[in-house]
Amino acid sequence: MKILAVSDEPSQRYYDYYHSGSLADFDLILSCGDLSPQYLEFLVTMARCPLVYVHGNHDEVYRREPEGCICADDCLIEYGGLRILGLGGSYRYRNGTYMYSERQMLHRVRRLWLSIKRHRGFDILLTHAPARGLNDLETLPHRGFECFNTLLERFKPRYFVHGHIHRNYGIDIPQRMQKGSTTVINAFEYCIIDTEEPKK
């Protein structure tokens, strides 16, 4: 399966400079948040494949949810044999609809525990924020969640796909890295995932 992961800023390649057929090869699109409904609707219309998304911390400005897209926030969904666990939002640094303390995010995780066990784990952890100490920053708005590390260590998903940490924040911010058997992907702007690639 070929997946396009997007987050935070629209990709010029797949939006401003889009040409007919450039999204045709994708089987699934994953959005990690902070993208307008109009952009997500454009992608799902042109790609003609499902688009699964979670909310970013700035998505409280949504006047409506994107049409034709599937919200994975606080649920576990399956597509094409992949189990996708969605947990959007960022660390709380001010009052906001999609901002959470560590305790609040842990509560969200615990509410999903039975679903995770029933599905015998998950293949993709789809979030907006990173995990604590894994692609996050020390500033409060860009802090990751410790409970995401617990999910990764216990269930060992194939992929952890997040956004929020713009790669233009610094030269040392990777797009891909490994945490054990999990490939961690920072989907800022866009990243292509080929699930047929051998596991590292």
Dig out the tokens for 69 from the structure: 């897209």
- The encoded tokens of residue 19 equal 């040409």
Residue-by-residue DSSP string for 14-27: TTTT--TTTTTT-S
Nearest-Å Rg of the Cα atoms of the chain is: 16
Output the pLDDT for position 200.
Answer: 45
- Dist. CA 123–CA 144, nearest whole Å: 20
Closest CA to 52 of 93, 15, 4: 4
What are the angstrom distances between the C-alpha of 65 and each of 34, 162, 172, 175, 194?
Answer: 12, 20, 34, 28, 28
Cα(191)–Cα(185) distance, integer angstroms: 8
Alpha helix segments (H runs only) across 112-145: 113-118
- Which residue in 164, 177, 169 sits closest to 91, CA to CA? 164
Reference 129, options 166, 88, 180, 178; nearest CA is: 88
So what's the pLDDT on residue 197? 60
Percent of the chain whose predicted confidence (pLDDT) is above 70 = 98
Per mean pLDDT, which range of 14-23, 32-41, 183-192 is the poorest? Answer: 14-23
- Tens digits of per-residue pLDDT, 136-166? 999 999 999 999 999 999 999 999 999 999 9
Cα 97-190-89 angle, rounded to 5 deg: 15
Kindly report the pTM of this predicted structure. Answer: 0.95
Q: Is the pLDDT of residue 181 over 50?
A: yes
pLDDT digits (tens, 9 = 90+) for 3-24: 999 999 999 998 988 888 899 9
| Mean confidence (pLDDT) of the chain | 94
Give the least confident one: 34-38, 57-61, 150-154: 57-61
Q: pLDDT at residue 198 above 80?
A: no
Q: Which two tokens stand for residue 155?
A: 């269930």
Collapsing DSSP to helix, strand or coil, 121 comes out as: coil
Structural domains in the chain plus CATH codes: 2-194 (3.60.21.10)
Give tens-digit pLDDT for 62-101.
888 999 999 999 999 999 999 999 999 999 999 999 999 9
